[in-house]
Chain A
Amino acid sequence: MENNYIPVADPGTSQIAPEEKSRTPFQLALGRFLKNKMAVASVFILFIIVSAVMAAPLLTDQDPTKSNLLLVEQSPSAEHPLGTDSSGRDNFARLLYGGRISLIVGFSAMVFTLAIGVVLGAIAGYYGKLVDAFIMRFADMILILPFLVLVLVIVAILNKVTIGIFVTIIALTSWPGLTRIVRGTFLSLREQEFVLGAKAIGATDLRIIFKHFIPNAIGPIVVNATLMMASYIIVESALSFIGFGIPQPTPTWGNMISEAQSIRILQNNPEAWIPPGLAILVTVLCINFIGDGLRDALDPKSLER
């Protein structure tokens, strides 16, 4: 009699067909990220901003640092699409070149913080005990230093702040947050069976950290790195606005807005300060949306299946 109820399995195949494409954890995360419309749109917009900033010499032939005191506070014209500032410099060129500085400051401060934070957090979380106590108390000491006062003091001592010094100050004062996150993640990973398994095969500490801990801690690290970058762009703008950031004539979005400290420009030349303000707003929003998207995509709880 014919069997209509029980599907007859082909003896050569099991549940998973051999042709089925295998998806790596990275591909799974990418799939989840692409489902997040805001995050994808943000990547797109950020890409446009970054390319415009990188292609600045192609988009304008004006020099962003060249003053022309005969052409101060001009309204928009064909030659100066966004007019000129109080020193007669082209606002459009400054917007593009300034974006370079703002993004570079945000990005390099993020990378620098990441380097310190991940290394110290990894050591503290992996070795625990005395090493951990020492690093975390040191982190606590850094955390209580008031960032703003520290910057003011350093600027006062050095007289002139370069991008390098500025980035260093940010990184040296803001690594403790990331260190805590990495340490916490490592502490929880330390108790996992697969880490014991790695020890059982005789893997070295370095191998365990780089092959087992960091790939499993990459989610929180990446998410926090993006959010850090956004906040560093704001920090740069805020400090430049009050005159303690990257000094003139180097353009940044922050010190372009500081033009608006003059009530005359604030009222009469909105084209001078609205674009850099918008640029900061859009960039930071985009980075934050991307961070949120990454958080959902890399959440270890959704990694199973």
Chain B
Amino acid sequence: MALQEKELMQGTEQDVILQLANVKKYFPIKGGILKHTIGHVKAVDDISLHVFRGETLGIVGESGSGKSTLGRVILRLLDPTEGEIYFEKQNISNLTNRRLRATRRDMQIIFQDPFASLNSKMNVGELIEEPLIVQTKLSKKERTAKVTSLLEKVGLRSSDRLKYPHEFSGGQRQRISIARALVLNPKFVVCDEPVSALDVSIQAQVLNLMADLQDELQLTYLFISHDLSVVKHISDRVAVMYLGRIAEIAPKHAIYHEPLHPYTQALLSAVPAVDKKKAREKIILTGDLPSPSNPPSGCPFRTRCPKVHDVCSQVRPELTDQGNGHFVACHLYK
């Protein structure tokens, strides 16, 4: 409770565009002859956070930590099991699909796989035009003008309008996805690992394009990635997820220079360093990520934590404020 109030108070200082309050997403596991629910995969387990207007909040975590699910729940592509999502102060967590349609104008998503996220039967013009057809009453001429200007904005040519996705490389396709996501002038974009399917050289191009577009169009990004250096490059604040929960959330420099949570420390120590002097001592985590259907009691990280002690298995640590917007969920910090 105290946490929420604090977060809310902090939220009033800056303009909050999106706020999550105790959001959970459990996927039922069906089993037995009668296919009844025998358990839950707790993909997102009690997450509260807020996103400020104009910032980029990076979400990092291992595979299976629930970061993509979180992105989809925020956009209501998946319905939350519990909790509230406030977008622009409006509770969207239980809007009907029909009422949600108007809100979708302002929030968009860029997917990871540029090959699966574009319908191969539509040409580039149709792909970018589709959001305009669905959401606006613009005439054909106005739509074409908009498509052309966006294509140029993302670094493609207006003549590419008549080509099909199969004629483009991965990086170019991701540019098409970006154009499609931005054609409605959204305020908030969930970027679900938008560069992890691309070559490193192309990654930088696409990231820089996204950063430029953010400045130009005053976008807010929720940037999901497992790549710490990519997140460092683009984010203002970073949240570290572990097993469906937030382990640590802080401004970028705090996460990268003074990580508090043992998990964050272990993650950062695994990033290869170019400069030998700057290299941290590697903290090797033992064991695998525990199953999200049967998370450990108390702190979810205790099974792999090098600094584990007794209280960790009994009490689940809550996010506590360490000052300067640095929150950490660990019993080492009170």
Contacts and interface: CB of A to CB of B under 8 A. Distances in A.
Given A22-B164, A24-B164, A25-B120, A198 B115 contact: no
B116 A201 contact: no
Contacts of B75: 200
Interface stretch (A189-197, A235-243, A266-274): A189-197
A22 B162 contact: yes
B166 interface: yes
Interface string A14-31: 101010001111001000
A203 B134 contact: yes
B119 A194 contact: yes
Given A23-B167, A25-B120, A303-B120, 8 more contacts: A194-B119, A197-B180, A200-B108, A201-B130, A201-B184, A202-B131, A207-B134, A303-B166
Nearest to A13: B157
Nearest to B115: A304
B223 interface: no
A199 interface: yes
B94 interface: no
A197 B111 contact: yes
Nearest to A305: B166
A212 interface: yes
B278 to A, nearest CB: 35
Given A201-B184, A202-B105, A194 B118 contact: yes
A215 interface: yes
Interface in B83-136: 100-102, 104-105, 108-109, 111-113, 115-123, 130-131, 134-135
A137 B168 CA distance: 44
Contact of B117 (A24, A28, A197, A303): A197
B111 A193 contact: yes
Interface of A: 14, 16, 18, 22-25, 28, 192-194, 196-204, 207, 211-212, 215-216, 303-305
A194 B116 contact: yes
B163 interface: yes
B77 interface: yes
A250 B326 CA distance: 87
Nearest to B131: A201
A66 B160 CA distance: 64
Given A18-B157, A193-B113, A201 B108 contact: yes
B159 interface: yes
Contact residue range for chain B? Answer: 35 or more
List the 9 closest pairs (A to B, CB-CB), nearest first: A202-B104, A215-B121, A202-B101, A193-B117, A201-B131, A193-B116, A194-B119, A22-B163, A193-B111
Given A24-B123, A193-B111, A200 B116 contact: no
Given A18-B159, A24-B123, A216-B119, A198 B113 contact: no
Contacts of A203: 130, 134
23 contacts: A14-B157, A22-B164, A24-B123, A25-B121, A25-B164, A192-B116, A193-B111, A196-B72, A196-B109, A196-B111, A197-B109, A200-B75, A200-B109, A201-B130, A202-B101, A202-B102, A203-B130, A203-B134, A204-B134, A215-B121, A215-B122, A216-B119, A304-B120
A196 B104 CA distance: 13
Nearest to B184: A201
Most chain B beta-carbon neighbours within 10 Å: one of A197, A199, A211, A216: A197
Nearest to A204: B134
Interface string B153-172: 00001010011101100000
Contacts of B100: 202
A131 B150 CA distance: 41
Contacts of B105: 202
Given A194-B116, A202-B100, A16 B134 contact: no
A216 B121 contact: yes
Contacts of A211: 119, 122, 130
A200 B105 CA distance: 9
Contacts of B130: 198, 201, 203, 211
Nearest to B167: A22
A90 to B, nearest CB: 50
B151 to A, nearest CB: 13
Contacts of A193: 111-113, 116-117
Given A200-B75, A201-B131, A203-B134, A304 B113 contact: no
